[in-house]
Amino acid sequence: MDDVGIDQMRIFGYGGATPPDMPNMAAIANGGVRFRNAWSMPECSPGRASFFVGRFPFRTNIYSALGTYDLANAQVSPYDMTTPKLLKQVNYESAMFGKFHLAGPDNNQAENGTPQQLGWDYFYGWIRGGPASLDTSGGGGNPDPTGKPYLCGFAPSAAAGGADIGACYQPDNTCTVIAGLNPAGDVPGKQCMMSGGVLVPNASCQTTAPAGLNFTKANGYYVSPLVINSTEGGVQAIANTDPRNRGYRTTIETDAAIGWINSRSAAKPWMATVSYSAAHTPYQQPPGALVKGGPNDDLNCTDLIQQRVVSDKMTEAIDTEFGRLLVKTGLASLKADGTVLYDPKANNTMIVIVGDNGTFANSVKYPFDLTRAKSTAYQTGVWVPLIVSGPMVVQPNRDIEHMVNMVDVFQLFGEIAGVDVPKAVPRVIDSAPLLPYLVNASQSSIRTINFTEGGYNVQANGQRNSACLVSTSLGNNTLSTICTQSVFDKGPCEDNAGVWWGPGYTDPSVIGPPMGQASGAGYRSCWQVNQAQYKSGLPLTSIAAEITMAVRNDGYKLVRNQIQTYFPSSDTGGPVTTDEFYVVNQAVPVPIIDTADLNLMPTMSSWSSTVLQNYNSLLASLNGILASQPACPGDANIDGQVNAQDLSIWQQLLSWAASSIADFNFDGLTNNSDSLVITHNLGKCAAPTAVY
């Protein structure tokens, strides 16, 4: 699940006053074990890399969600040992369906072929991150796209400014008139979009579609740039006009997985990853048949309050389609109420359910902290659901309170397949065993500490993502605004209810242009936003941590954040690093988490010896973890050495010339300058060390 933190999950004891209804995942949890103290990384790509590579971000160089401008050095390396490569050692075949977001297509020689390059035998889904922005023109069917944009990407009801009838055109020029709600309660605009079409409101079908309809434009969860990698067909980029690209993504992802799983030979083991795109922004209502109580298609997908309702519905739709996946593949049966009946001993398939990072702020459930959500190392940003079920679980329906990390899931995949993972991976991994918790109900804690980390990815010549100001509703009609550089472009910023201050900004609230720059240049850092606000007599905006990390033991947590801040006295920007210290636990229904008012650092002078001992221990652990991967410039194949093999890899990539794993000076080019880095560092690297 994407952006579904543990705060959403009633089966873990949380979910707030209005939790999404997820009976199918609850059935799997009741048939297995619930890891109630699992950490991932603060954002999508580092979270996914951690459980497909088993290594922390400082080893993979993947610190934040991959974007258009991130170099190949910030993507999963083709020389790393991914899960499908690991399982191939014992004859498994592997497939992934849905969101990839580990490497490519930008700044990578393999482009759309990165799933195959990283070991997957079959891939059917989306190479980039979250879905594209909502198409407020509704595929050109909106008669007034500037005055009354379709805020959820389709025409709402007539009462909400849309239409209750219209002509639904398909890319092949066929047309059907849709009038009124369907049995699931979907309005005509969404019915048409669900079928892959574009609705022309209050119109009848004509022989020729009206001018201006656009079937090529992506539209959130309903029109997406599908990519297929297969041994037989190679790499295919499917046009947005193709019917395979047109429909609700969660359903497309499920259908593809069902087809592949059911076509497997019983003689060969397999692993299928159904990597749901939901409930990542942009928020967009799913088909009404997939959600409890039907849809509410007149909701405003850009409204901070209404987004919470849409997010719940998207998460419920995951659960519905997940249940269909289990039934259609024979892993469960269907009960009379439409939910699944699951017997973990009835087959030889293990099921793992996990979130890639914490919940995005606008959807966080009380009592978790929406001001410290996804993209931060605080509990709300990294505490994720992890469920493991199947025939290997002894005494199912258990909660495990011990600390585990997403890097451990990598080792679990190998353990399930009978692989000795530490021996099979030719480099340091950060995984700890998980299988002992499944087979031994009294297993003591294996980890003594846990770790998470986020930051910014490598871009050409030191460039960074630009500034985005995001507002979050705090209740009572008050807003909290924060400046972040975690989103890479204007579209994703606005999908997250933000105001883009970067290049090409259009919002009238932007003070522009930056000092000494041309109109439209945009702000490359949050501290420059504050500089502009200060000089305009406006209050400064809080800046989200640009580098964030945390380490914890059973009772305490140390958080370290770094930002580039603005200093009015010198009119410059510079780094500020802060450490924070907290007591944390997993109590139900109100856990103690790292909210700002509970930071112990201001009272350090009065700490007891126990508190001080825990702080010193965690500080030493954090510093030790960060020092465990010495820099090794010139190491193209990440074997911890710089030698002739790295020169050979560089030589092979010279013809590509652009961003590659051999671009050691991070200028976005592979050229003679990079060979100098290799030759200068021959034989100089120190060996990395394990930390868990």
Per-residue pLDDT tens over the stretch 438-449: 999 999 999 999
Contact between 51 and 404 (Cβ < 8 Å):
no
Peptide bond into 367 cis (omega under 30): yes
In sequence order, the β-bridge partners of residue 237 are 227
The predicted pLDDT at position 472 comes to 73
Please check the confidence at residue 67 and state whether its pLDDT lies above 60: yes
Cα 486 from Cα 626, distance rounded (Å): 22
Angle between helices 672-680 and 644-653 (to 10 degrees): 170
Contact between 315 and 4 (Cβ < 8 Å):
yes
Cα 191 from Cα 170, distance rounded (Å): 12
668 assigned to some structural domain = no
Cα 120 from Cα 229, distance rounded (Å): 8
The predicted pLDDT at position 471 comes to 80
- Determine if residue 533 is left, alpha or beta; phi over 0 gives left, psi from -120 to 50 gives alpha, anything else beta: alpha
Range of the structural domain that residue 239 is part of: 6-132+220-454
Cα 271 from Cα 412, distance rounded (Å): 12
The arrangement of strands across the sheet holding 165-169 comes to 175-179, 165-169, 198-201
675 assigned to some structural domain = no
Same domain, 36 and 127: yes
287 assigned to some structural domain = yes
Same domain, 315 and 356: yes
Same domain, 188 and 266: no
Choose the final residue of a domain: 454, 480, 505: 454
Same domain, 289 and 268: yes
The predicted pLDDT at position 520 comes to 78
378 assigned to some structural domain = yes
Average pLDDT, the chain: 95
Same domain, 508 and 423: no
In sequence order, the β-bridge partners of residue 583 are 556
Please check the confidence at residue 127 and state whether its pLDDT lies above 70: yes
The predicted pLDDT at position 516 comes to 75
Return the sign of the alpha-carbon dihedral for residues 617, 619, 622, 628. negative
Mean pLDDT of 453-464: 95
Same domain, 181 and 75: no
579 assigned to some structural domain = no
The predicted pLDDT at position 611 comes to 98
DSSP 429-461: ------HHHHH-TTPPPS-S-EEEEE----BGG
566 assigned to some structural domain = no
pLDDT bin (cut points 50, 70, 90) of residue 491 is confident
H or E, element range at 532: helix 526-535
Mean pLDDT of 333-362: 96
Predicted TM-score (pTM) of this structure: 0.95
Per-residue pLDDT tens over the stretch 289-332: 999 888 888 999 988 889 999 999 999 999 999 999 999 999 99
Same domain, 274 and 367: yes
Please check the confidence at residue 155 and state whether its pLDDT lies above 70: yes
Same domain, 373 and 521: no
Cα 445 from Cα 40, distance rounded (Å): 18
Please check the confidence at residue 478 and state whether its pLDDT lies above 80: no
Please check the confidence at residue 263 and state whether its pLDDT lies above 80: yes
How far are the Cα atoms of 78, 243, 467 from residue 117, in angstroms, in the given order?
6, 27, 33
103 assigned to some structural domain = yes
36: domain CATH number? 3.40.720.10
Contact between 413 and 269 (Cβ < 8 Å):
no
Same domain, 40 and 84: yes
The predicted pLDDT at position 492 comes to 84
The predicted pLDDT at position 294 comes to 85
| Residue that wins the pLDDT comparison between 144 and 478 | 144
Contact between 665 and 673 (Cβ < 8 Å):
yes
Beta-carbon count within 10 A of 195 CB: 16
Same domain, 273 and 378: yes
The predicted pLDDT at position 147 comes to 65
Cα 372 from Cα 528, distance rounded (Å): 23
Same domain, 415 and 530: no
Per-residue pLDDT tens over the stretch 394-426: 999 999 999 999 999 999 999 999 999 999 999
Mean pLDDT of 226-235: 93
604 assigned to some structural domain = no
Choose the final residue of a domain: 195, 217, 239: 217
The predicted pLDDT at position 475 comes to 57
The predicted pLDDT at position 479 comes to 65
| Residue that wins the pLDDT comparison between 641 and 476 | 641
Per-residue pLDDT tens over the stretch 618-671: 999 999 999 999 999 999 999 999 999 999 999 999 999 999 999 999 999 999
Please check the confidence at residue 146 and state whether its pLDDT lies above 90: no
The predicted pLDDT at position 572 comes to 94
Same domain, 283 and 363: yes
Contact between 381 and 372 (Cβ < 8 Å):
yes
Per-residue pLDDT tens over the stretch 549-579: 999 999 999 999 999 999 999 999 999 999 9
Please check the confidence at residue 106 and state whether its pLDDT lies above 70: yes
